Amino acid sequence: MKFSKKSAAIFSALSALIVSPFVMAGSASAQSFQPNGMSGSYLGGGVSVGVSDDAVVGGNVQVRLNSSEAPISLRGAALISGNSTAIVPTLTYDAAIAPNTNLYAGAGYSLVTDKGFNSPLGDKDSVVLTAGLETAVQRHITLYGDVKVGLDAFENSNDAAVSAQLGAAYRF
């Protein structure tokens, strides 16, 4: 699979973002403060911007289903543009970084509804890496932001597609 320099730089930055919570957690002492991250599930919406070669601006609908047994979540996103939609189920690891705030990273798969037409995450189905931040600002209100990278997400090239999402959600 061939990556452009831009794709390699984005992939490296995303990898650093994914690995840093584990490195920081490993270097903390046993007596250090352990924040309680955000628990609960949510459903929300916002803006989605594909920042690859052809910028695609659209909306997103995102859902998080929280596990009470482990720091993982099952997530789903619909990245919507005028021409195509990417449906992206993912499994993430959630790291508490402050009270009611999580950094999350994971992987999933993008299913593009109209092949050949650009969605915010490319124009064909692909493996997706994601990293993001979520915080509860009130009891039932959550703000979230994330970046998704679709590997080999274009029909006529091996380039990665990159999409950034911001939104607000109802937490339950």
Is the Cβ–Cβ distance between 93 and 66 less than 8 Å? no
CA 23 to chain centre: 20
What burial class does residue 125 get, using C-beta atoms within 10 Å of its C-beta: 0-12 exposed, 13-18 middle, 19+ buried?
A: middle
Q: What is the pLDDT of residues 133-152, one digit of tens each?
A: 999 999 999 999 999 999 99
Torsion angle of alpha carbons 10, 12, 14, 18, nearest 10°?
180
Asked if pLDDT for residue 118 goes beyond 50, the answer is yes
Tell me the two tokens of residue 1.
């699979």
Task: Among 51-60, 103-112, 113-122, 159-168, name the one with the lowest average pLDDT.
Answer: 51-60
What pLDDT, on the 0 to 100 scale, is given for residue 126?
97
Tell me the two tokens of residue 52.
């690859």
Alpha helices in the chain (DSSP H): 5-27
What pLDDT, on the 0 to 100 scale, is given for residue 69?
92
Class in CATH terms, 5-28+38-171: mainly beta
